[in-house]
């Protein structure tokens, strides 16, 4: 009996139970941006009639690394759908998928439809485009007919890398520059020997179109791009046969390109000493200090809700609305925790014993608090947990600090620090008591959230009183009727959260793949893209009786999918 599968182009953020029959057309590992040896996650691109990118977050690496193979077909179920809003995407799909602990993957031995691993962009289409579309990475196939000498580059962090431009030619002798960086240069160099008589055919997969001084090229884009050199694939055999019938193997096939002629399209990095600021730096220079910072930790009892809760003037928004919010400041949302993004050591931080300030390494044998000056022989542990919250309109990543997490799981961080997860790799099982809880969250929308450098929204308060949560479904934005919140069961930790938020910003922010822009391209794209308007505002009831949709137990999700680079080009020749 034929099973019915969901189609990748039908994906939306309104459900979690997906069932796909798909090929994996690309798979790559994303290194930690601070430590290249460490893998932060695996990204894959799936194909049925359409395409979508899916992420395997760090906590799930052990489970899946090596088990999913390119060009094979799988039945895959259960994903969290996220809107990463990345500036540079691998597919046209607005959405991407995240593996959770519920995700299943079954190999299919007899594929029911053919693999279409590549979506080749004809070279003339790139050359002739009035405005080069560069937000979606593309595939190009061609014979290497020219090369430049590789050049050494030094990144501003002192790391050496290489750059090499080759010329690709299609079957109609159209050519385009193809710029390779780093390991890809070493990968292709052995094939570029003088006097080569066999055609060298490459597939540049997921490369970024680029135009600079009127010259069009494709460039490798960090870890996403893949260079397939003379691969044993039908696409390449077909290309080679047709190519050889036009241009037989009797002459030298690769010429040295010394001057930057019109065909090179590759001398984009001409003037040395280009320093590309990280987006973080750009933000910190232009962004006013956090206006919502409250440095005073006000005293408050566990039941002292904020004023707006007392007054009942609260509008609860959908997650879809929250994600498209164009205004800084706090808003309320309602949603269910469907995933906890934490491993063994990243659900807490070390703090002062007197105040919530983070403390660093001890001086001598004591920790000294940079805020209140308190010293103590040991640091205190406080919660700092990322959770994924879903409401039927979308999913949002939230950062919960000590007070809210303790409120939800009923324990203090110190009390559960020695708990072992079943596999010894995960967070303390007590945190799972937060799963599947439907709650009201007051979140702080920051400029970095709106500009999409930071996908994690900070929780300022939560409300876990079931009656109040039940009374406060999201209202359409144009409806001014106030929600009827009362103060029972709601916490107010704005002071604590705000203080620690700043500490947090110092160490981690902006982590999307989009924070990563290749040398020259980033000069052109420092300005964040404007957010596309979202769909219709609407209020949605979430039916928490559908246990299947919310029956997660230990889902995890990671936002750490990218690394940043700052490249300083040291180049004096032309």
- Residues making contact with Zn ion (CB under 5 A): 352, 354-355, 357, 369, 371-372, 374
Q: Which is nearer to Zn ion, 504 or 559 (CB)?
A: 504
Contact status, residue 25 vs residue 219, Cβ threshold 8 Å:
no
Contact status, residue 205 vs residue 118, Cβ threshold 8 Å:
yes
CB 357 → Zn ion: shortest distance, Å? 5
CB 498 → Zn ion: shortest distance, Å? 15
Q: Which is nearer to Zn ion, 196 or 354 (CB)?
A: 354
Chain CA centroid to CA 491, Å = 31
CB 358 → Zn ion: shortest distance, Å? 10
Beta bridge partners of 368: 375
Q: Which is nearer to Zn ion, 26 or 357 (CB)?
A: 357
DSSP, residue by residue, 358-403? B--SPBTTBEE-TTT--EESS-EEEEEEEEEEE-SS-EEEEEEEHH
Choose among 240, 119, 127: nearest CA to 175.
Answer: 127
Rounded to 10°, the helix 494-507/402-409 angle is: 120
Q: Which is nearer to Zn ion, 506 or 573 (CB)?
A: 506
Distance in Å from the first CA to the final CA of the chain: 65
Q: Which is nearer to Zn ion, 7 or 372 (CB)?
A: 372
Contact status, residue 202 vs residue 188, Cβ threshold 8 Å:
yes
Q: Which is nearer to Zn ion, 247 or 374 (CB)?
A: 374
CB 350 → Zn ion: shortest distance, Å? 12
CB 394 → Zn ion: shortest distance, Å? 38
Q: Which is nearer to Zn ion, 355 or 540 (CB)?
A: 355
Q: How many CA atoms lie within 13 A of 248 on its CB side?
A: 1
Residues whose CB falls within 8 Å of the CB of residue 544, separated by 6 or more in sequence, listed in order: 336, 436, 438, 550
CB 370 → Zn ion: shortest distance, Å? 8
CB 374 → Zn ion: shortest distance, Å? 5
Instruction: For 303-368, give the secondary structure using H, E and C.
Output: CCCCHHHHHCCECEECHHHHHCCCCCEEEEEEEEEEEEECCCCCCEEEECCCCCCECCCCECCEEE
CB 377 → Zn ion: shortest distance, Å? 14
CB 416 → Zn ion: shortest distance, Å? 23
C-alpha–C-alpha distance, residues 9 and 26, integer Å: 18
CB 463 → Zn ion: shortest distance, Å? 28
CB 356 → Zn ion: shortest distance, Å? 8
How is residue 6 written in tokens?
A: 């969901």
Q: Which is nearer to Zn ion, 197 or 372 (CB)?
A: 372
Q: Which is nearer to Zn ion, 151 or 371 (CB)?
A: 371
Q: How many CA atoms lie within 13 A of 69 on its CB side?
A: 7
C-alpha–C-alpha distance, residues 31 and 561, integer Å: 8
Q: Please provide the size of the chain in residues.
A: 574
Q: Which is nearer to Zn ion, 272 or 373 (CB)?
A: 373
CB 461 → Zn ion: shortest distance, Å? 22
DSSP 8-class letter at 55: E
CA dist 253 to 238, 249, 472, Å? 18, 8, 70
C-alpha–C-alpha distance, residues 111 and 107, integer Å: 9
Pairing of strands 19-31, 39-47: antiparallel
Q: Which is nearer to Zn ion, 369 or 490 (CB)?
A: 369
C-alpha–C-alpha distance, residues 330 and 459, integer Å: 9
Q: Which is nearer to Zn ion, 53 or 380 (CB)?
A: 380
């Amino acid at each position: 009996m034929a099973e019915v599968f969901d189609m990748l182009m039908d994906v939306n953020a309104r459900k979690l139970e997906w069932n796909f029959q798909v090929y994996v057309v690309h798979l790559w590992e994303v290194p930690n941006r601070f430590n290249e040896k460490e893998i932060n996650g695996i990204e894959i691109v799936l194909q049925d009639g359409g395409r979508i990118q899916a992420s395997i977050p760090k906590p799930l690496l052990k489970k899946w690394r090596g088990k999913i193979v390119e060009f094979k077909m799988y039945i895959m179920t259960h994903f969290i759908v996220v809107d990463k809003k990345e500036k540079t995407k691998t597919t046209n799909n607005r959405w991407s998928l995240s593996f959770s602990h519920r995700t299943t993957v079954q190999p299919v031995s007899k594929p029911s439809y053919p693999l279409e691993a590549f979506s080749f962009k004809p070279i003339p289409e790139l050359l002739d485009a009035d405005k080069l579309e560069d937000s979606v990475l593309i595939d190009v196939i061609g014979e290497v007919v020219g090369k430049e000498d590789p050049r050494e580059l030094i990144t501003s962090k002192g790391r050496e890398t290489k750059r090499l431009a080759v010329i690709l030619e299609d079957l109609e002798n159209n050519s385009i520059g193809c710029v390779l960086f780093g390991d890809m240069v070493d990968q292709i160099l052995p094939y570029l020997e003088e006097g080569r008589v066999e055609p060298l055919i490459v597939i540049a997969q997921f490369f970024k179109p680029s135009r600079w001084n009127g010259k069009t090229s494709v460039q490798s884009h960090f870890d996403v791009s893949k260079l397939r050199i003379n691969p044993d694939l039908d696409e390449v055999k077909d290309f080679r046969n047709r190519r050889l019938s036009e241009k037989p193997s009797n002459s030298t096939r690769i010429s040295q390109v010394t001057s930057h002629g019109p065909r090179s399209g590759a001398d984009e990095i001409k003037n040395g000493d280009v320093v590309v600021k990280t987006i973080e730096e750009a933000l910190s220079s232009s962004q006013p200090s956090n206006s919502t910072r409250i440095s005073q930790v006000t005293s408050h009892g566990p039941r002292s809700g904020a004023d707006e809760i007392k007054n009942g003037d609260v509008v609860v928004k959908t997650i879809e609305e929250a994600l498209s919010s164009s205004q800084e400041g706090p808003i309320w949302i309602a949603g269910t925790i469907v995933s906890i993004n934490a491993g063994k050591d990243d659900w807490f931080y070390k703090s002062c014993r007197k105040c919530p300030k983070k403390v660093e390494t001890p001086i001598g044998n004591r920790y000294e608090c940079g805020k209140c000056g308190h010293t103590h022989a040991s640091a205190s542990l406080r919660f700092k947990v990322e959770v994924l919250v879903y409401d039927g309109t979308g999913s949002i990543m939230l950062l919960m600090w000590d007070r809210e997490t303790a409120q939800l799981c009923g324990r203090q961080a110190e009390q559960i620090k020695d708990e072992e997860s079943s596999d010894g790799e995960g967070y303390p099982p007590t945190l799972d008591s937060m799963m599947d809880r439907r709650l009201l969250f007051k979140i702080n929308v920051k400029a970095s959230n709106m500009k999409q450098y930071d996908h994690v929204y900070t929780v300022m308060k939560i409300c876990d009183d079931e009656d109040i949560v039940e009374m406060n479904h999201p209202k359409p934005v144009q409806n001014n009727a106030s929600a009827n919140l009362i103060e029972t069961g709601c916490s107010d930790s704005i002071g604590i959260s705000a203080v620690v938020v700043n500490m947090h910003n110092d160490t981690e922010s902006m982590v999307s793949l989009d924070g990563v822009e290749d040398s020259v391209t980033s000069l052109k794209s420092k300005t964040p893209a404007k957010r596309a308007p979202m769909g219709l505002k609407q209020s949605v009831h979430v039916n928490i009786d559908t246990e299947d949709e919310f029956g997660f137990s230990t889902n995890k999700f990671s936002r750490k999918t990218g690394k940043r680079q700052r490249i300083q080009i040291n180049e004096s020749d032309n």
